[in-house]
Amino acid sequence: MGVIKLTAGSPKPPVTPGKVQLFGSEYNPYCQRIRMILIARDVPHDVYSASSWDKPAWWDSVQPDHKEPALCTDDGRTLTKGDVFKFLQEKYPGQGSDPALRDSNFELLKKFELVMENFFTALQNKDHKPSEKGREFFQAFDEELQKRGTTFLGGETPGTVDYMIWPWFERFRVPAMLHGIDRPPPSDRTPPKNMLAWREAMEKTKPVMETRHSLEEHVEVCKRWMQK
C-alpha cells in the first residue's frame, strides 16, 4: 500500500469503514515500524504523510506529537504511542509470540532505547561518542538470536520486536553521512554473524521493502528537519 502525501491546503481525508488511517511522516522511524506491522498483519490501511514544514492546517489536531505517529480507527478514535500497539494486538494480533520470550524481548528493547538515544544525539552533534551501554545492545542482540536459533527474534518470520528495531538499522549511517564523517556505524564496526544474517533477511521481507528509503533520502530529510 502506497503513501498518500499531504501538503498545506490538503483536505482531511474521510474515515473509510474497515480501514485504519496512519498519520505521520513516511521518513519517521516510529511511523515506519507501525507501517511494517500493518503490512505484516495484512491490516487494511491508508498512510498519510506530511512534513513538519509543509503540512495541512488540521494536521496538528490529529498528530499533535510530531515524533510519534497517530493511528485513527474506523470508529473515530485517534490513538498514539502504546495505545496503537494495544489496539493492533487486540484487533489484529498476528502470529502469537512465545510467552517465555516476552521478558527477554522487553529487556532487549530496553537496551535498544540507549541505541535510539545515541542515534538522535549523533544527528545533532557530530562529536557525539556512543556510550558503551548503547554498544552492548548489539552483542546482546546477537547472543539472543544465537540462543533462539532462529533467523528473526520472532522465529522464522519477523515478529513485532523485529519491526520495532529495524527502522534504526536502516538509518545507522545517516549521522556520519550528514556530518561528512568517514566512519562505520556502530552496527557495522564488528558485525556479529547472527545480527548480520538477521539484517540481510529483514531486507528481503515485504514490510521492509515497501517502507524503506535510501540513505540519501534520509540524509536530505534530516537536513531539512535540522533547519527548522
Say if residue 45 is in the same domain as residue 149: no
Say if residue 140 is in the same domain as residue 212: yes
Last residue of a domain, one of 61, 91, 121: 91
CATH of the domain at 13: 3.40.30.10
Mean pLDDT of the chain: 89
Find, among 57, 56, 89, 53, the residue nearest to 71 by Cα.
Answer: 89
Say if residue 118 is in the same domain as residue 138: yes
Last residue of a domain, one of 47, 73, 91: 91
Find, among 59, 1, 74, the residue nearest to 25 by Cα.
Answer: 59
Say if residue 65 is in the same domain as residue 108: no
Residue 187: domain span: 99-227
43 close to 28: Cβ distance less than 8 angstroms? no
Say if residue 43 is in the same domain as residue 17: yes
Say if residue 170 is in the same domain as residue 57: no
Q: 172 pLDDT exceeds 60?
A: yes
Q: What is the pLDDT of residues 191-204, one digit of tens each?
A: 688 999 999 999 99
Say if residue 185 is in the same domain as residue 74: no
Pairing of β 20-23 and β 3-5: unpaired
Between 106 and 132, whose confidence is greater? 106
| Number of independent structural domains in the chain | 2
Q: What is the pTM of this model?
A: 0.91
pLDDT at 143: 93
